[in-house]
Homo-oligomer: A and B are copies of this chain.
């Protein structure tokens, strides 16, 4: 068992345009009941039910999602220890800096388990085992990521090249964080045996995170420190803080991976022994559901004729799919996605092209490639 209890720190800020049209700016994917009666956020929070091991969770999200987070955590009787509301969209470095600073004021040694809110993990006991492995190293001052053994040459994930084994632990040093590879590179990673998928979850002491941020991203840390000082109560019933907008907006929009992980000398990795899936795209979601005999997954008012290997989902309209293989069809009253399964990573491009104010905020139009809009 680990020395101190762990503070789960859930990042719920993503807008998830790759799961458009179900996911949009008003209701990003972490709040959707995509795979069960519970939303991805709720499934994430429920992973920390073991009060002997975990403190009450902390959540960082946009202030737009305050009600959604409060409602959805209340629905599963989860009391949050802290709710940090961001006044505008920044990337993960700002969110993690805020969480680390808030936790460190209470307890410098606080062990933070930083989790995105849109990952699917079913095996909670194996998850807990890996968390214990990571906690032991985090307590020693490492920033410990969870690496997932690749099952296929995925091009949608970042990878971790593993280094030397760390003494008296189940962890390894991180040799290098590598960006999302192209297909041949991903095949090489798979063959090497030295590469793990970067799950995006990690553990560290609050003081270690603050220290690394002060070295590697001092401006960002200073901005977030001011935003906390200028903050207001998040909610009457929930402990938390609405971060001060004047200071927060000066924080650079940068991911924690870029700002800290790729530069820090204190990174380690433990193997994730649990099932793990980043539900970042419709084909990933299709992969975790049980298909019918034709290899299709159909949800809602859907009829298929001569369709194989496809994911067809309606949140309202009647949908007919005919004579196609390996397609994804997702329909709501206001939006319809029709994509080849292996092109699901391009949903962002199409959403950007539709010039939806909803999904377009986090998109860079210049990356849109071959897009035609009529």
A298 at interface (Cβ–Cβ under 8 A)?
yes
| Binary flags per residue of A325-347, CB closer than 8 Å to B gives 1, else 0 | 00101011111111110111011
Say whether A346 contacts B306, CB under 8 Å.
yes
Q: List 12 A-B contacts (CB under 8 A).
A: A303-B350, A303-B353, A303-B371, A305-B350, A305-B368, A305-B371, A318-B334, A322-B349, A324-B327, A324-B338, A324-B339, A324-B343
Minimum C-beta distance from A52 to chain B (A): 42
In the complex, what residues of B have CB within 8 A of residue A347's CB? 320, 322
A147 at interface (Cβ–Cβ under 8 A)?
no
Q: Select from chain B the residue with minimum beta-carbon distance to A320.
A: B350
Q: Could you tell me which residues of chain A, from 226 to 254, have a CB within 8 Å of some CB in chain B?
A: none
What total of chain A residues lie within 8 Å of the partner, measured CB to CB?
Answer: 55
Closest 10 CB pairs of A and B: A323-B343, A320-B350, A323-B340, A298-B374, A303-B353, A322-B339, A319-B336, A303-B354, A322-B343, A331-B336
How many angstroms from the CA of A261 to the CA of B8 in the assembled complex? 78
Minimum C-beta distance from A301 to chain B (A): 7
A300 at interface (Cβ–Cβ under 8 A)?
yes
A20 at interface (Cβ–Cβ under 8 A)?
yes
In the complex, what residues of B have CB within 8 A of residue A339's CB? 320-324
Contact of A305 among B318, B333, B342, B343 (CB under 8 A): B343
In the complex, what residues of B have CB within 8 A of residue A344's CB? 322
In the complex, what residues of B have CB within 8 A of residue A305's CB? 343, 346, 349-350, 353, 368-372
The listed residue with most B CB atoms (<10 A of its CB), out of A322, A324, A339, A350, is A322
- How many copies are assembled? 2
Q: Given A292-B372, A303-B372, is A337 in contact with B320 using a C-beta cutoff of 8 Å?
A: yes
Say whether A320 contacts B306, CB under 8 Å.
no
A200 at interface (Cβ–Cβ under 8 A)?
no
A169 at interface (Cβ–Cβ under 8 A)?
no
How many angstroms from the CA of A337 to the CA of B301 in the assembled complex? 12
Minimum C-beta distance from A110 to chain B (A): 43
In the complex, what residues of B have CB within 8 A of residue A319's CB? 335-338
A34 at interface (Cβ–Cβ under 8 A)?
no
Q: Select from chain B the residue with minimum beta-carbon distance to A352.
A: B303
How many angstroms from the CA of A316 to the CA of B343 in the assembled complex? 24
Q: Select from chain B the residue with minimum beta-carbon distance to A20.
A: B320
Q: Given A346-B306, A374-B302, is A318 in contact with B21 using a C-beta cutoff of 8 Å?
A: yes
Minimum C-beta distance from A332 to chain B (A): 7
A373 at interface (Cβ–Cβ under 8 A)?
yes
Say whether A346 contacts B322, CB under 8 Å.
yes
How many angstroms from the CA of A292 to the CA of B292 in the assembled complex? 38
